Amino acid sequence: MEQVTRFAYRCNSCRNVEHVAVENRVIEPAGASCSFCGAPVTAVPVDGEGGFPDPYAVAWWDEAMHASVWWSSRRVKHEDAAGVLCRVDTLSTAPSEPADPDAYRVLLHEFAALHDVDPVTRTLPDWLDIARKAGWKYDRWIDQWLMAKGADQAQAKQEGPAGGSPLPSQPEGGPLPLPSRVIAAAFDGLNAWDQKQWSRNLGDPPHWLARARRTPGRRSPVGGATWDPVRIALALFDREVSLLKLDRVFEQASLRLWNKEWVEKSDYLR
């Protein structure tokens, strides 16, 4: 019976990635060459589904994706995180196309929206945890790499220099209050106010709206007032804005972290 050994390699010269099957013999991994450009490559064995047995997966993804570099970085931009989680290594001189373009577009959009609302420093473990909790699709290469390292996400975060909680942007007391510009955009059209009217009224709020203010505005480069969107929504319900319209507000990416609290506090109204 013929024995087939499968190998894979990634060429650092031309970025070619290829799987090869070798019958009845085992090739020397270090002696392989790229079929496209002929450059020497190091081939590693794979299983029938293209996966890498330990310890090859760690070395493969460290070489192909700079996995250890990204994972231990103290700060990863939202656009880089979306790329890495979809197998686009922006540290490479010739980044590849995303493995799943649709998943990449979703992550890029959602990560950007979250960063716009809450621009704190995040690591790759933070971004991965956000994607997992939200149920957003990403390429499973990083799960394979973590499994090969023998550490789940929490263990790996403890090993890394950044550490921290899975969602540093959402403290134990609940999600962070939102700035006026985010509130104005999110509630645009409700209470017969467009976005400009919301911005103006948030600057000089009526009593019912002022009660939802968390911090007062101040003249500084970094901010004005911040708001509790759930309190605003409950006040709008009292002003005859429908629950259907209010539910849609919390489906927006900018308010997604507040959705759970909105559902809980509006339950008695349903």
Last-in-domain residue among 109, 128, 159: 159
- Provide CB contacts within 8 A for 164, sequence distance 6+: 123, 126, 157
Domain count, the chain: 3
pLDDT higher at 270 or 232: 232
Same domain, 263 and 198: yes
Note whether 265 and 231 are within 8 A (CB): no
Tens digit of each residue's pLDDT (9 = 90 or more) over 156-193 = 344 343 333 333 334 445 677 888 888 999 999 999 99
Same domain, 72 and 154: yes
168 assigned to some structural domain: no
Q: Name the range with the highest mean pLDDT among 5-19, 57-71, 225-239.
A: 225-239
Q: What is the pTM of this model?
A: 0.45
Tens digit of each residue's pLDDT (9 = 90 or more) over 210-246 = 989 987 764 433 346 889 999 999 999 999 999 999 9
**Mean per-residue pLDDT for 146-150?**
71
User: What percent of the chain has pLDDT above 90?
Assistant: 27
Same domain, 29 and 116: no
pLDDT higher at 111 or 63: 111
∠ CA 90-94-100, rounded to 5°:
65
Same domain, 70 and 154: yes
209 assigned to some structural domain: yes
Same domain, 77 and 17: no
164 assigned to some structural domain: no
115 assigned to some structural domain: yes
Domain that holds residue 29: 4-50
Query: Phi and psi dihedrals of 87, rounded to 5?
Result: 65, 40
Same domain, 197 and 240: yes
Same domain, 39 and 70: no
85: closest CA among 156, 137, 152, 157? 137
User: What percent of the chain has pLDDT above 70?
Assistant: 66
Same domain, 109 and 153: yes
165 assigned to some structural domain: no
d(CA 107, CA 52) in angstroms, rounded, equals: 26
243 assigned to some structural domain: yes
55 assigned to some structural domain: no
CATH of the domain at 25: 2.20.28
- pLDDT for the residue numbered 18: 56
122 assigned to some structural domain: yes
Same domain, 44 and 72: no
pLDDT higher at 23 or 140: 140
Same domain, 43 and 83: no
Note whether 43 and 8 are within 8 A (CB): yes
Same domain, 80 and 152: yes
Same domain, 38 and 93: no
**Mean per-residue pLDDT for 194-205?**
92
Note whether 158 and 130 are within 8 A (CB): no
